[in-house]
Structure formats: structure tokens, C-alpha cells
Amino acid sequence: MLVLFWVTLRALPRIFRYRRNLAEQLFEIGNASLFMACVLSLFIGGVLSLQAGPLLAQRGLGSMLGGLVGASLAKELGPVMMSILIAGRIGSAMAAELGSMRVYQEIDALRTLNIDPVEYLVLPRVVAISLALPCLLVFSLLIGSAGGAFVAALNPEVAVSATAFFNSLKATLEPRDIIHGLIKTFLFAITVGVVCCNQGLDTMGGPRGIGRSVTKAVVNSIVFILVLDYVITRMLLPFTKASMAGGF
């Protein structure tokens, strides 16, 4: 997997040659995930508001709900949930597509045409997912915050108006929090892309092998996302402590 990552990285300067494949992959990812990402974010924001709102309100901190929901979405839940969604929806499709290409000799055919399968197939996929996932995080943040504000306003136990919710969010959420989330998402995206492509290229056997590859790709991606989440959070913690002190 590390070898594939290194080979893909080395091929990066030639991505312009594969702009058509890249555009196709970007469309595929956006088309397949945007709606699901919005639905997921809406409910994550809503649930956060539903759970944390009454607790904060009981302590007279209801006005801080917007900041809590925004920071949670930007730094933790957004990156992790969007990455898991993409691993399940896009990563599985990548592993299945490359796996079937391997099984049905399409990858061998590329090699006989002197076309490097990593440059032709893996590079556009990894670059596309790395560009698309941070964009999805921005959508997730917007929609999730709207979901949180909606629930906060309607829930009588919280009774925080949308204006108060967004004022708290604006006061608490700093650009570096969003950058924190974007860095995480970008690294998760590379991980999902490389893990799933590697699994696809390693597929052996017939349709059963493809099924096994897809399962492994998704499970391994999720494990890597969660492990990396801890490591990256730990590394970025000194840079976000100031904002935490200011907000929470």
C-alpha cells in the first residue's frame, strides 16, 4: 500500500495528462455522494443539537450551542463521517471497479499497451477523492449547522433562536478550526483512495474475489480513518488549543 502511495505521488506531476479521467472521477464522486452527504450532515447537526442543547440549556449555556455544533462538525464529526461515507460509497466502487478490471484482464491489457495502470487508473481516482472530500466537508459544515439550528429553534428544552445559534457559531469557530478539519479530511481522502485502489489492484479470483476486495477495502479504510483521526488530532492539538480556550 505504501508502495502504491509512493508510485502515485511520483506520478502526480503528470496528472494534467489524465484530466479527462480526473473530471470523470470528480463527477462520479460528487454525483454519488453530495445528496447523501447533505442528508447525513443535516441529521448529525440535528442530533448534536438534540443531545447537547438541553444539557447546555440546563446550565445556562444554551447560547453556546452553535459554537459546539460548529466546532464538532468542523473538527471531528464532519471529517470522520464524510470520510466513512466516501469509503463506503466511493471507495467500495473503486475497489470493485479495479478488482473487476484485474479479474477480467483489463489491467493486463493496459500493461501490454505500455500504459501504466497506476497513472491511468489510480492517480485520477486518488486526486479526485482528495479534491472532492474537503469540498464535501464544507457542504457538511453548512448543512449540519443548519440542521443543528433548526432543531435548537424547534426544541422547547433548548429554545435557542437560529440567529443566536449562528452568532455563537461565528464567535466560536475560527478559520483554523476549519483548516484543521480540511487537513484531516484531505489526509483521510488520500488514505481511502490508496487503500481502496490497492485492494482493487490486488484482487484475485473471480466475482468472489471482487466481493472480498470490496469488503476489505471499506473495513480497512474505516480502521485507517479512525486510527489516523487520533494521530492527526494529537498532532494538531497544540494549534487548536487557543481556539478551544476561547470557545470552550
Distance CA 182, CA 232 (A): 12
109 binds other proteins (CB under 8 A): yes
Distance CA 86, CA 205 (A): 26
Which of 40, 71, 84, 101 contacts other proteins by CB under 8 A?
101
* Interface of this chain with other proteins, residues 186 to 225, rule: CB under 8 A: none
Q: Would you say 115 or 227 has its CB closer to other proteins?
A: 115
Which of 106, 138, 139, 155 contacts other proteins by CB under 8 A?
106
108 binds other proteins (CB under 8 A): yes
115 binds other proteins (CB under 8 A): yes
Distance CA 73, CA 41 (A): 8
Distance CA 203, CA 199 (A): 6
32 binds other proteins (CB under 8 A): no
CA 182 vs. chain centroid, Å, equals 9
Q: What is the CA radius of gyration of the chain?
A: 20
Distance CA 78, CA 75 (A): 7
| Cell numbers standing for residue 57 | 440549556
Give 205's DSSP letter: S
Which of 58, 105, 161, 163 contacts other proteins by CB under 8 A?
105
What character string, x for contact with other proteins (CB under 8 A) and - otherwise, covers 117-136? ---x----------------
Tell me the closest approach of the beta carbon of residue 168 to other proteins, in angstroms.
48
Residues of this chain that interact with other proteins (CB under 8 A) are 101, 104-106, 108-115, 120
